[in-house]
Amino acid sequence: AEHQHSRYNPLRDEWVLVSAHRVKRPWQGQVEKPPAENVPRWDPNNPLCPGATRANGEVNPHYEGTFVFPNDFPALQPDAPEPGDSDHPLFQAAAARGVCKVMCFHPHSDLTLPLMSLPEIRAVIDAWAELEAELGASYPWVQIFENKGAMMGCSNPHPHCQVWASSFLPNEARLEERTQRQHRSQHGVPMLLEYAKEEARRRERLVVENEDWLVVVPYWATWPFQTLLLPRRHILRLQDLCDSERDSLASIMRRLLIKYDNLFQVSFPYSMGWHGAPTGPHLQEDCGHWQLHAHYYPPLLRSATVRKFMVGYEMLAQAQRDLTPEQAAERLRDLPEVHYKQRPQ
């Protein structure tokens, strides 16, 4: 807690420098503007709202739950041409095809997941699982991710996420494929299943838990209040979750996200995403080394207006953090589970 040391991340096969004493230094860096609190519930000019017109001229239906539609500006398209052969091993290119979708969580723009009801969050989880099963029938990787807040590059305050299905395994997926396969080969058990059991036993990095899930600040966390959401039993993909596990997932997600918002009493920005076993042609393979999990990467460090930047040493050497994972977990764990906007005045 007082002296610098390095910690190993077995999931990414890399190290992070922990420099806990640096959290005491005075802050003279960039101060962000807090996010706007006056988001209108419905705005005809917001392309994600029910009944609004999007950039391509299509009009959204007057949806009342989740709403999924093709991204109007997709990073991946299903019919992209081959890039052609390379004339040198240092100049390689490969085909990249896929589809990109947007999922609105709720018709109201002024809501976020921690302010939604459990049945509404459960509907989001069901839609995630349905999309992964649908797109994963042909694509080897389906990446579900949410960028929350302008600080994380979100250009629209409406509650939504994106789903990109690709004809290839992205870098993070290939890395986790290698490390998890290697761990099971050496130790006979899926890495993150063993890790979840150890964190549940040790409890020093535990944030919230229930009968099916636990959330920890991982031992190797890089972002200040980064968390890892893990199931207690061996599960490969979102669509493998049973009804009770989907209900308990909705509950633990809301509990975590309420704590995030309560930390600095602000709609907490983050990027989050699900990682599970590859799909498409991999559905017929032994993927037992995989364990479903979700990463949450929030940038805030000291307050709603002071963020962590991954620059300098982090970009040129290795990741570095000032707050120990145990300190971060304790702060999150001790926060109330009633949202600050919903507490009695």
**183 is annotated as an active-site residue:** no
Please check whether residue 139 is in contact with residue 107, taking contact to mean a CB–CB distance below 8 angstroms. Answer: no
Cβ-proximal residues to 144 (8 Å cutoff; 6+ apart), any chain: 128, 131, 132, 161, 162, 163, 238, 273, 274
Task: Answer yes or no: is 32 a known binding residue.
Answer: no
Strands (E) across 149-292 are located at: 160-166, 206-209, 213-216, 227-231, 270-275
Task: Answer yes or no: is 25 a known binding residue.
Answer: yes
**Which residue among 160, 282, 289, 339 is the active-site one?**
160
Task: Answer yes or no: is 45 a known binding residue.
Answer: no
Give the residue among 273, 84, 83, 293 at the shortest CA–CA distance from 170: 273
Task: Answer yes or no: is 293 a known binding residue.
Answer: yes
For residues 190 and 276, give the distance between their C-alpha atoms in angstroms, rounded to a whole number.
Answer: 12
Task: Answer yes or no: is 247 a known binding residue.
Answer: no
Cβ-proximal residues to 311 (8 Å cutoff; 6+ apart), any chain: none
Task: Answer yes or no: is 295 a known binding residue.
Answer: yes
Task: Answer yes or no: is 100 a known binding residue.
Answer: no
Task: Answer yes or no: is 313 a known binding residue.
Answer: yes
Please give the structure tokens belonging to residue 137: 């029938």
For residues 187 and 206, give the distance between their C-alpha atoms in angstroms, rounded to a whole number.
Answer: 24
Cβ-proximal residues to 136 (8 Å cutoff; 6+ apart), any chain: 142, 165, 237, 239, 279, 280, 283
Task: Answer yes or no: is 266 a known binding residue.
Answer: no
Please check whether residue 324 is in contact with residue 286, taking contact to mean a CB–CB distance below 8 angstroms. Answer: no
Task: Answer yes or no: is 195 a known binding residue.
Answer: no
Task: Answer yes or no: is 309 a known binding residue.
Answer: yes
Which parts are annotated binding residues? Answer: 22-25, 55, 71-72, 147, 153-155, 162, 176, 275, 293, 295, 308-309, 313-314, 320
Active site residues: 160
Which parts are annotated binding residues for UDP-alpha-D-glucose? Answer: 22-25, 55, 71-72, 147, 153-155, 162, 308-309, 313-314, 320
Which parts are annotated binding residues for Fe cation? Answer: 176, 275, 293, 295
